[in-house]
Amino acid sequence: MMTDKKLRWNRKERKDWARRLQAEDPGLEIVHPHAAGINVGNGMHYVAVRPDRDPQPVRRFECFTADLHSLADWLQRCGVKTVAMQSTGVYWIPLYEILEERGIQVYLVNARHTKNLPGRKSDVQESQWLLKLHTYGLLNNSFQPPSEIRVLRTYWRQRGEHVRGAATCIQRMQKALTQMNVQLANVISDVSGLTGQTIVRSIVAGEHDPRKLAELSDPRIHASREQVAKSLEGNWRPELLFVMGGRDHATLVSDDEGRAFYLPADCYRNAVGFLGHLQTIIRRRGKGDERDRRPPHRGGVGSSLH
């Protein structure tokens, strides 16, 4: 095990140490005699075992599930009991789970601990370098919780994503209300509370009468029904009401070149509908309709930007 003194080597000592590691017999104690090294990639995994275990000690496997099982079968035939691989993105997770199920101890190595070491010029050499470092016990294993904890962690992280997404939806809803000059946030303490959400759901459902909406307020709020009704007098713009609804699904569409991509279904339908409206206006202008030849208003938002 390295002491604090060895961590402060000068350049000459570091070069000597690297030269010893690259040698066939670096003079170190073998800690993991049944080791293997895996260079994890997006489409291919390069696996290296000791030369005395197989005539072809370095092999390449694709990332399909069947190939990952073939990789694990080959490691078991070679008598490998422990494997070192880098935690590259999320590409290591399927392989890690398969090797864990086979009873092979996996060392998940931080790439920062090996990126500055010599001897890495290709994927094959990188897997061999990981094998050599792991054989002599020079790699530290990153913490990886048991599978049961990983399942719980996935659910918990997804819950966090939903919580953050809900906060974003509330901010978007409050912005839409402000743009329509609906001052509901000034008369109730929390728009995302019981009264606020009841009123917002009714607005999205199509109810825009301020007094009927005010009747939905909870009796426990401090504002009176008249104050709530006054705050609900606004400009009900259809596009902002659509934003407040927030209910949307993805639809597969294609552009003019045939490339497919996903768009939110309701956004797509509304955008297509509005484009049809714009085409009608263009046709009118082409026919010389005087109603569409009025000069643009100069006192709007555009003038304030100059």
pLDDT in tens, 83-128: 999 887 889 999 999 999 999 999 999 877 776 555 556 888 888 8
Position 95 in a domain: yes
Number of separate domains in the chain: 3
Token pair for residue 189? 């303490």
Position 82 in a domain: yes
Q: Are residues 266 and 210 in the same domain?
A: no
Question: Which has the higher per-residue pLDDT, 153 or 300?
Answer: 153
Position 205 in a domain: yes
Q: Are residues 223 and 198 in the same domain?
A: yes
pLDDT in tens, 242-256: 888 765 444 444 445
List Cβ neighbours of 191 (8 Å cut-off, separation of 6 or more): 170, 173, 174, 177, 184, 185, 197, 200
Q: Are residues 188 and 266 in the same domain?
A: no
Cβ(213)–Cβ(229) below 8 Å: yes
Position 131 in a domain: yes
Position 217 in a domain: yes
Q: Tell me the whole-structure pTM to 2 decimals.
A: 0.59
Domain boundary among 100, 135, 170: 135
Question: Which has the higher per-residue pLDDT, 231 or 256?
Answer: 231
Q: Are residues 158 and 201 in the same domain?
A: yes
Q: Are residues 31 and 80 in the same domain?
A: yes
Q: Are residues 55 and 125 in the same domain?
A: yes
Question: What gap in Å lies between CA 244 and CA 238, rounded to an integer?
Answer: 10
Question: What gap in Å lies between CA 85 and CA 79, rounded to an integer?
Answer: 17
Domain residue limits at 275: 250-292
Domain boundary among 111, 135, 159: 135
Instruction: State which of 137-151, 239-253, 270-284 shows the largest mean pLDDT.
Output: 137-151
